[in-house]
Amino acid sequence: MTVRRAEPADISALLPLVTGLAHHHGDIAEVTAASLFRDLFTDPVWLHAFVAEDNLTIVGYAALLPLARLHFGQRGMDLHHLFVAPTARGRGIGTELLGAILAYAKGAGCSYLTVGTQAENRAAQVFYGKKGFFRSPPAPDRFAFDLSTWTAPKTAP
């Protein structure tokens, strides 16, 4: 088994895995090959992705998003996705992916890595706990803004 950075040729293998993760969480995937390519391989790169390949078949992936704690001068990454195909689980593939992304984040100058799990996903919580992650209370006063219908104000000429 090999863990490596994702390449454009991996998109067709990544797409069903990303869809599988969405299905696992009860979501309906809206990801497309075009959106994967845009986010993983066009400038600016939005997500940093790694794949686990076993006998030339991609059986898992991990995706990272950059973070920062500007006021502390710290860079970080959020483990946005970590997924192993159901037929490949229990063979240490998730551990291998995690090791690769930890090394990548450290090499990128990051001092922390975050990950979120669903409250009922006990298996993921146990997995991350065994790997050295600790609980970090969520920020209760977080806000979001929907940019999908927002238009920038026109400036006077």
Exposed/middle/buried for residue 144 (C-beta within 10 Å: 0-12, 13-18, 19+): exposed
Exposed/middle/buried for residue 93 (C-beta within 10 Å: 0-12, 13-18, 19+): buried
Chunked into runs of 10 residues, the chain (157 residues) has average pLDDT values of: 97 97 92 97 96 96 95 93 95 95 94 88 88 76 67 74
pLDDT at 88: 95
Omega of the bond leading into 8 within 30 degrees of 0 (cis)? no
pLDDT at 152: 75
pLDDT at 7: 98
Task: Return d(Cα 108, Cα 65) in angstroms, integer.
Answer: 12
pTM confidence score: 0.88
pLDDT at 134: 84
Q: Which fold has domain 2-149?
A: Aminopeptidase (3.40.630)
pLDDT at 142: 64
